[in-house]
Amino acid sequence: MKHPILDNIWKTITYLFLLSVLTYFYFLLSSNLFDYSTYITLSDTAISFLIIGLMNLGLWFYIFYNQSEKQDVFRLVIQQLTVSVIYSLIWFLLSSLVFLFFIQNQDDYFSFLQNIFEVKFFIGLMIYFIMMFFYNLVIISRKNKINNEQRRELSTMLQQEELNSLKAQINPHFLFNSLNSISSLVYDNADDAHEAIVKLSDYFRYTLTLSKNQFTKVKEEIENVERYFEIEKIRFPEKMGINYKIDLSCNDFLIPVLILQPIAENAVKHGVYQNIEKSYIDISVRDDVDFYSIIFKNNFEDSTSKSISTSTGLENIRKRLRLIYDRNDLLSINKTEETFEIKIDIPKNI
C-alpha cells in the first residue's frame, strides 16, 4: 500500500508546507508564553517538528495495519486516546533527548521542558488526531474506490453473461426454423434441400467464427442475413422479394453480432409465412448524423399484426442494445395497416 503523503511530489510538498506553518505558530506560541532565549526556543521548535514530521509519516503504517472492521465503539475510543497519549509522550521524550546534544545550559533546558510540557503534550494530541483523521479518510476513500471498481467489474461480467445468454438463444431458434424449411423439401426437391443444407452450414460457419466476438462489421452481418433469406427462398421461390439499399460508407461500422438475425426471422415469419400474396422485405442501412440506422420493412396480413412487436427475438434485441449501449431508445417499431418497420440506431460515439 503506497504512502498517501509520499506517493506524490505535490502531496509531499503540501505536507511540508503545512508542517512548516504549524512549526512557525509553535515557535511564536512558545516565544510569547515563556521568557527563554531565542536559541532554546528555536532549537526546541526545529528539533520537535523534525521528529514529529517523521513520526507522522510512520503513523500511517500503524493505522493501516491496525484496521478493524468489527470493533466496539467504546473500546475504539479508549484505544485511540491511549495511543494518542503514548504518541504525544514519545514525541516529547525523543525531542528532549535530542535537545540534550544542542543545549549548553542544562538548568535553563530543564526549566524550559517543565514549562513547555503541557503545551507540547496537547499539541502532540492535536496533531495525532488530525493525522489519524486524515489517514482514515484515505483508507475509506481507497476502499470505496476498490469497491466501486469491483462493482463495475461485476456489473460488466453480469452484463456479458446476459449478452451471451441472449445471443445463445438465436442459434437454436434459427436452426429449428431452417430445419423445418428444409424438411419440407427433402421429398419434393432433393436438390434444393441439398443446396439449403450447404447454405445452412455456411451460416453456422459464420456463427461459430464470431461466437466469441461481441461486434462485427455491418457488411458481414448483412451477408449472413442474406444466407438466411436464400434458405427461405428455396422454400418460397416466387413469394419472397428482398430489396437492399446499403450506403457504402456504412459497410465497416461495427454492430453487435447476430443482432439482425431475429429481425430477418421476424419479417419472414410474420410476412412471408402468413401472407397469401407476394411478400417483400426492404433492408436499408444509412449514415445519419449521430447514428448508423438499420431499417427492416416488410408487408404483412392484418391478422398477424398483434404478435409481431412482442416476439422473443425483438425483446432480445432490445435487451442487448440496452446492455451494450446503456440506452432504451435504440430500437423503434412503426406499424401501419399493411407494413411493419423495425429501426435500429447504433450510436457513433459510445
Where residue 211 sits, what CATH number does that domain have? 3.30.565.10
Q: Give the pLDDT score at 158.
A: 53
Measured in whole angstroms, the distance separating CA 169 from the mean position of its chain's CA atoms is: 26
Has residue 189 been placed in a domain?
yes
Residue that finishes a domain, picked among 159, 181, 210: 159
What pLDDT, on a 0 to 100 scale, did the predictor assign at position 350? 64
Whether residue 78 sits in one domain with residue 33 = yes
116 close to 30: Cβ distance less than 8 angstroms = yes
Distances (CA, A) of 79 to 70, 132, 305: 14, 12, 73
177/46 same-domain check: no
| Model pTM score | 0.52
Residue 340 amino acid letter: F
Q: Length of the chain in residues, anyone?
A: 350
**pLDDT confidence of residue 203:** 74
Residue 1 in any domain: the answer is no
* Domain span holding position 194: 169-347
Is 3 domain-assigned? no
Specify whether 95 is located in the same domain as 190.
no
Q: Hey, what's the cell of 70?
A: 468489527
Q: What's the angle, vertex CA 285, arms to CA 279 and CA 289, rounded to 5?
A: 140
Same domain? 86 vs 154: yes
Residue 332 lies in a domain: yes
Q: What's residue 69's pLDDT?
A: 61
- Please say which residue of 105, 128, 159 terminates a domain: 159
| 98 and 218 share one domain | no
Question: Which residues does the chain have with pLDDT short of 70?
Answer: 1, 68-71, 102-106, 154-174, 177, 207-213, 301-312, 350
Q: Is residue 2 part of a domain?
A: no
Q: Do 225 and 338 lie in a common domain? A: yes
Same domain, 55 and 154: yes
On whether both 181 and 322 belong to a single domain, the answer is yes
- The answer to whether position 231 is within a domain reads yes
Q: Domain for residue 118, yes or no? A: yes
* Predicted pLDDT of residue 295: 95
Cα distance between residue 334 and residue 343, in whole Å: 8
* C-alpha cell read off for 310: 412482442
Q: Which of 196, 257, 191 is nearest to 224 (CA)?
A: 257
Q: State the DSSP H helix or E strand holding residue 244, giving kind and residue range, or none if neither.
A: strand 240-246
The partner residues of 280 in beta bridges, in order of sequence, read 241
Three-state DSSP state, 32 = helix
Q: Examine the fold and report which residue of 138, 159, 180 is the final residue of a domain before the chain moves on.
A: 159
pLDDT at 343: 94
Co-location of 13 and 140 in the same domain: yes
b/e map of 267-287 (b: 16 or more CB within 10 Å)? bbbbbbbbbeeebbbbbbbee
For residue 68, the model assigns a pLDDT of 67
| Residue 327 main-chain phi, psi, to 5 deg | -140, 150
Measured distance CA(326)–CA(231) in Å, rounded? 34
Establish if 164 belongs to a structural domain: no
Overall number of domains in the chain: 2
pLDDT score of 161: 53
pLDDT computed for residue 124 by the predictor: 92
DSSP assignment of 64-98 equals: HHT--SS--HHHHHHHHHHHHHHHHHHHHHHHHHH
Pair 186, 270 in one domain: yes
- In a shared domain, residues 261 and 299: yes
Residue 240 CB neighbours (<10 A): 22
Same domain, 144 and 200: no
